Amino acid sequence: MADFRSDTVTQPSVAMKQRMLNAALGDDVFNDDPTTLELQHYAADMLGFEAALFAPSGTQTNLIAMMSHCQRGDEAIVGQQWHTYKWEGGGMAVLGSIQPQPLELQSDGTLALSDIAAAIKPDDPHFARTRLIVIENSVGGKVLPLGYMRDVAALAKDKGLACHIDGARLMNAAVALAPQHNLTPQKMARELCKGYDSVSLCLSKGLGCPVGSLLLGSHAFIARAKRVRKMLGGGMRQTGMLAAAGLYALENNINRLADDHANCRRLADGLTHLAQQLPALQGKLTALPVQTNILFTDVELQLAEKLLPYLAERGIKLTGSNYQSVNGSIKRLRWVCHLDISREDVDQALQHISAFAAEVN
């Protein structure tokens, strides 16, 4: 079976499980779980922040961040496709009483600096008070470049606003950008975070942990965040078993993300080749450009309705959504490569699609 649905489906390796079993434990609510403290210090040092906080999920660390930066009635500028706005149950509004100001994304995944500036409200009681700019990197597999990240941080500082990175896949972005800047992925990630007040880093996506996310910021910010985490029910006890997985991941699973990116490009190239060569797929399947570990393919709707069950019967799992394009209804399939997807899995998926095309032709 090859599960391409998400990099959240990864299973902890034997070595990671061993670290979890051997972890020294304490009570994290009393701030004395030694392994959790080690993870928080390790991550803060790596990314250039004063402190960090371990929490169950990226959704929670994002919400904790926004509630720590903003008060009731404040506003956060977000992207319309940001996870913080679209995919987290409206938590910033429902639980934080924070008004989101969503902006349209550009084709490269960025928010136009002019749009951000124009969305900042004047100091007027008619408006919610703009307090925060949220950026996501990577977003839908697209990487926001270092220069852009610095420009957003500078804009926030100039306007007196806080700025937060939803870095669920920050390390994927860092691995993709590192060769351009002659840096290690770890140092690249640190550069991407410079100038930002906080960042949320998922451990349970490409890094391969079973559970967990980190929120990083200043000592004062993390002190506020701990209070918010408690209110949201995220105060846990012997978290060291989970934190140990996070430590193993940060020490061992960052550089290997390049393998996932390579597999994703191989998949995209293979699908493009098949779509060009096989009559059943010509004009009906398009692989979109790949930058990291996520590939989207647009498939003609009737073809997709046959393809998805065919692949599912052969153990290949995907997610997809219907879209209306200028050429009619399509299904956009999402393929996510991760540490449990091998090069052989990619090649086998391509073989199945080739066989499918031969059958339906």
Q: Place 361 in a pLDDT band, splitting at 50, 70 and 90.
A: low
CA 165 to chain centre: 10
Question: Is the Cβ–Cβ distance between 57 and 83 less than 8 Å?
Answer: no
Amino acid 360: pLDDT:
82
Amino acid 329: pLDDT:
82
CA atoms within 13 A on the CB side of 315: 6
Between 14-21 and 240-252, two packed helices, what is the crossing angle to 10 degrees?
140
As a whole number of angstroms, the distance between CA 93 and CA 71 comes to: 11
Question: Is the Cβ–Cβ distance between 39 and 246 less than 8 Å?
Answer: yes
Amino acid 106: pLDDT:
97
CA atoms within 13 A on the CB side of 232: 25
Please, what is the Cα angle at 218 between 46 and 79, to 5 degrees?
Answer: 85
Amino acid 324: pLDDT:
79
Q: What are the angstrom distances between the C-alpha of 256 and each of 60, 209, 347? A: 26, 14, 19
Amino acid 326: pLDDT:
73
Burial of 21 (0-12, 13-18, 19+ CB in 10 A): exposed
The per-residue pLDDT for range 95-152, each reduced to its tens digit, is 999 999 999 999 999 999 999 999 999 999 999 999 999 999 999 999 999 999 999 9
Give me the sign of the Cα torsion angle 316, 205, 298, 271.
Answer: negative
Residues in Cβ contact with 244 at an 8 Å cutoff, skipping those fewer than 6 apart: 19, 20, 22, 23, 35, 39
Report residue 207 as tokens: 């890094």
Question: Is the Cβ–Cβ distance between 199 and 43 less than 8 Å?
Answer: no
Question: Is the Cβ–Cβ distance between 164 and 133 less than 8 Å?
Answer: yes
Q: What are the backbone angles phi and psi of residue 260, rounded to the nearest 5°?
A: -65, -40
The per-residue pLDDT for range 317-346, each reduced to its tens digit, is 999 999 877 767 889 999 999 999 999 999
Nearest to 44 by CA among 55, 52, 35, 36: 52
pTM confidence score: 0.96
As a whole number of angstroms, the distance between CA 261 and CA 174 comes to: 12
Residues in Cβ contact with 46 at an 8 Å cutoff, skipping those fewer than 6 apart: 186, 189, 190, 250
Question: Is the Cβ–Cβ distance between 257 and 175 less than 8 Å?
Answer: yes
φ/ψ region of 98 (left if φ > 0, alpha if ψ in -120 to 50, else beta) reads beta
Q: What are the angstrom distances between the C-alpha of 282 and each of 92, 144, 187, 267, 303? A: 44, 32, 43, 17, 11
In the sheet where 285-287 sits, what is the strand order?
285-287, 294-300, 328-336, 319-325
Mean pLDDT of the chain: 96
The per-residue pLDDT for range 288-298, each reduced to its tens digit, is 999 999 999 99
Nearest to 54 by CA among 34, 71, 72: 34
